[in-house]
Structure 1
Amino acid sequence: MDGPQRPQPMGIQLPTGTDVQSIRQRVEAMEMLLERSFRIPGINYPIGLDAIVGLVPVVGDIVTTAMGAYLVWEARNLGMPKWKLWRMAGNVGVDTLLGVVPLVGDAADFVFRSNTRNLRIIKKHLDKHHPETRIIDG
């Protein structure tokens, strides 16, 4: 060995660029983290940080709203039309309003996946306007 080994980073490496491909990778990773990063044992149902952090009253709702708003911010960076941004903000708003209601909001996090809906809007836009960023899922 020539010298001490450097520690290797764990997890996934997200690009930090402002190009369309980098933004696509970041929003896909954020949606995965918020909506499908864990599976409930026994029933094999995917959940993410949105449902878990949302269990914490008030603070959880603020944190998950901010994380959902990040997707809208990235969509704005892509130059998406304002009506799509408003639609995405509406999805985050509905998720937030449902989350404010105790128990009902926690149950709604399992059904109403605003981040998945927003990712779908972003992907549809990217597939139409930037088809070179498409990734074929295996």
Structure 2
Amino acid sequence: MARPITMPPGLAAANLPLGRDPASVRRRLIAMEQLLEGLFVIPGINRRVGLDFVLGLIPVAGDALAAALGGWLVWEARNLGMSKASLLRMTGRVGFDALLGLVPFVGDAADLYYRSNTRNLKRILRHLDKHHPATVTVEG
């Protein structure tokens, strides 16, 4: 007989932003952007970097995976009903970042300064603030 799967304390299903409601999507997108762009600080230059930068150090496959993760943000934006023009612009940012990533050293430098995921998140948050104002959170 199989044992039931239980979640660790403090990680209840209610705490995970898995819902389709705009508030859950907002929390999930912010967490993904933080993972991709702001996981840790590089000492010396004091710049926040994340998984996008780390994956960019792996030739081709790392850039492809980083682009796929950035594409997930665009997919979530599509599910929120954002306009095709916005989705096209966001896809262009992810594609531009992926193309730059194919060029050795240039792509790594671009990940430090051209934060396509942060730019896309800002666009999505503006959409959420306009069309789902109840999801706005005040950080204090």
Structures share a fold, TM > 0.5? yes
Taking the aligned partners of 1:93 and 1:82, their CA distance within structure 2 comes to: 16
In structure 2, give the amino acid aligned to 1:135.
Answer: T
Deviation at 1:64, TM superposition (A): 0.0
Q: State the partner residue of 1:49.
A: 51
1:70-89 aligned within 5 A: 70-89=72-91
In structure 2, give the amino acid aligned to 1:30.
Answer: M
Deviations 1:73-120 (A, max 9, x none): 000110111111001001101101100111111111001000000001
CA contact (8 A) 1:99 1:105 kept: yes
Pick aligned residue for 1:16 from 10, 18, 21: 18
TM-score between the two structures when normalised by the length of structure 2: 0.88
1:21-40 aligned within 5 A: 21-40=23-42
Taking the aligned partners of 1:66 and 1:7, their CA distance within structure 2 comes to: 29
Deviation at 1:45, TM superposition (A): 1.5
Count of matched residue positions in the alignment of Structure 1 and Structure 2: 131
Deviation at 1:126, TM superposition (A): 0.7
CA contact (8 A) 2:53 2:111 kept: yes
TM-score between the two structures when normalised by the length of structure 1: 0.90
CA contact (8 A) 2:97 2:114 kept: yes
Is there any run of 5+ residues in structure 1 with no aligned partner, and where? 1-5
SS class of match (2:48): strand
Deviation at 1:9, TM superposition (A): 5.8
CA contact (8 A) 2:42 2:48 kept: yes
SS class of match (2:97): helix
Deviation at 1:15, TM superposition (A): 1.2
Q: State the partner residue of 2:4.
A: none
CA contact (8 A) 2:22 2:135 kept: yes
Report the aligned-residue RMSD: 1.4
Taking the aligned partners of 2:139 and 2:44, their CA distance within structure 1 comes to: 26
CA contact (8 A) 1:14 1:25 kept: no
SS class of match (1:119): helix
Q: State the partner residue of 1:112.
A: 114
Q: Percent identity?
A: 59
Is there any run of 5+ residues in structure 2 with no aligned partner, and where? 1-6
Q: State the partner residue of 2:135.
A: 133
